[in-house]
Amino acid sequence: MHIGLIGLGKMGGNMRTRLRRAGHEVTGFDFNPDIADVHSLEDLVAALPSPKVVWVMVPAGDPTLQTVAQLAGLLGEGDLVIDGGNSKFTNDAINRDLLAQKGTGYLDCGVSGGVWGLDNGYGLMVGGEAAQVDLAMPIFDALRPEGPREEGFVHAGAIGAGHYAKMVHNGIEYGLMQAYAEGYELLAAKVMIADARGCFKAWTRGTVVRSWLLDLLVKGLEEDPGLTQISGYVDDSGEGRWTVEEGINNSVAMPVIAASLFARFVSRQDDSPAMKAVSALRAQFGGHATKAAEAAQAGPTSGSGTVDSPGGHPASEAGPSSGAGSTS
């Protein structure tokens, strides 16, 4: 099968390689001419046979909406656009309706696997009409992990369902990561524990908390014992927020996922105003001692033996060509 791929960043570039390994022809476009196969969207569309299938792998939000709008002017009856980025599910109906004016189909596909997907395959969650899913199935089969299709691919439902499922997936991921992180901090804080990393590694086989995320945490601790080379600043891709919003909209309690999201917000504050207020209140009602600002800033973080880096750490600004592969 011959497919067009827009966005050849970390995930998009790896997906192009995996598809080619499976015998598919891929024409890729990126604003970085060093990695692009063609120089424009017009050239990409012209290179594809009909029905033309174009996979969009650019950052969520305006970059994706603008790319789909451009494709709507280039594609026609029977063609198909697949949005594989981390778009909010509410944007999928907008893209579908715009493309439908030209008779072009649309699928939304949540993609999980990160930079490891090249060799391990990607978990895929797709929303849209069954006939269009069938049209793209050779591509989905090449991208998913080896083994039974249902263990790496799901046609989750109508338009928007794929991105909705990926949103919930990432919300769960937030909670899992936070639980591992808190467990690590507690182990590292206890003097009697001589090998916190070893404890986590011992959990990677046979235990009920074993997982790929646990394996990755052990790998991170092996590469940077004590995690001294990084700060505690943690960004979020937006999907954790959307998951919590949907919990509120559907009256579904999500205390773990909500707490993990808020913990990321706290990580971005060098000195939390809220915790300053708590400290002031404790001093007022109980006469509890407070720490001077300088002392509070100079002290090590609990359990890690490191001092957080001063100043903010803004999120990296990814252009349309950088791929939409951030998972969380």
Taking only the tens place, the pLDDT of each residue in 205-248 is 999 999 999 999 999 999 988 888 888 888 887 889 999 999 99
- Set 10, 88, 173, 239: catalytic member: 173
What is the Cα–Cα distance from 126 to 133, expressed in whole angstroms?
A: 8
Q: Which residues contact 281 (CB under 8 A, 6 or more apart)?
A: none
Average pLDDT over the chain, rounded to an integer: 87
Catalytic one among 151, 166, 182, 201? 166
- 190 catalytically annotated: no
pLDDT value at 315 more than 50: no
What is the CB neighbour count within 10 angstroms for residue 114? Answer: 17
Cα 310 to Cα 307: distance, rounded to the nearest angstrom: 9
| Token digits of residue 103 | 């008779």
Beta bridge partners of 56: 6, 83
C-alpha radius of gyration, the chain, whole number: 23
Q: In the structure, what pLDDT confidence band is assigned to residue 267 with cuts at 50, 70 and 90? A: confident
Res 281: pLDDT: 75
> For the ranges 66-75, 195-204, 304-313, which has the lowest average pLDDT?
304-313
Q: What contacts 24+ positions apart, CB below 8 Å, involve 269-274?
A: 270/297, 270/308, 270/310, 270/311, 270/312, 271/296, 271/297
pTM for the predicted model, two decimal places: 0.83
* Residue of 136, 142, 115, 183 whose CA lies nearest to 326: 115
Backbone angles phi, psi at 25, to 5 degrees: -95, 130
Active site residue 151: no
